[in-house]
């Protein structure tokens, strides 16, 4: 998944577009999760085999659950990125900040 720059908070058009994309991703994640859970339940209920096929099916089903988990992690991360403020710009190298915080008492 490629990283996207967060939208500028001053641009309403960019914020609306980012919120719409996030809403589309949430809907996609809900549909994808429902389809995967249905497929897993149907496979477990209808599979009547032992041995190598049962092991192969368990590996495929675990991969499906990992895909669902990864989908929700990316959706939640993009939601957090929309809600969090943009980081403060860093000062240029060699320029002292206006205030210093002493971490060690002396």
Residue 7 lies in a domain: no
Positive or negative, the CA dihedral 89, 74, 82, 4 is positive
Residue 66 lies in a domain: yes
Residue 65 lies in a domain: yes
Residue 2 lies in a domain: no
Examine the pLDDT at 5 and tell me if it is beyond 90.
no
Give the structural domain span for 62.
Answer: 12-83
Q: Each residue of 20-79: pLDDT tens digit?
A: 998 999 999 999 999 999 999 998 888 888 888 888 998 999 999 999 999 999 999 888
The number of domains in the chain is 1
Residue 98 lies in a domain: no
Distances in whole angstroms, Cα of residue 92 to Cα of each of 95, 96, 97: 6, 9, 9
pLDDT of residue 29: 94
């Amino acid at each position: 998944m490629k990283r996207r720059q967060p939208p500028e908070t001053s641009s309403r058009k960019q914020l609306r577009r980012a919120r719409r994309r996030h809403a589309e991703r949430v809907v996609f994640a809900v549909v994808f999760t429902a389809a995967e859970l249905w497929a897993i339940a149907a496979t477990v209920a209808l599979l009547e085999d032992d041995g190598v096929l049962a092991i192969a099916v368990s590996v495929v089903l675990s991969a499906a659950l990992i895909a669902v988990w990864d989908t929700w992690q990316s959706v939640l991360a993009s939601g957090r990125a929309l809600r969090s403020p943009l980081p403060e710009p860093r000062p240029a190298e060699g320029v002292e900040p206006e205030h210093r915080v002493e971490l060690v008492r002396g």
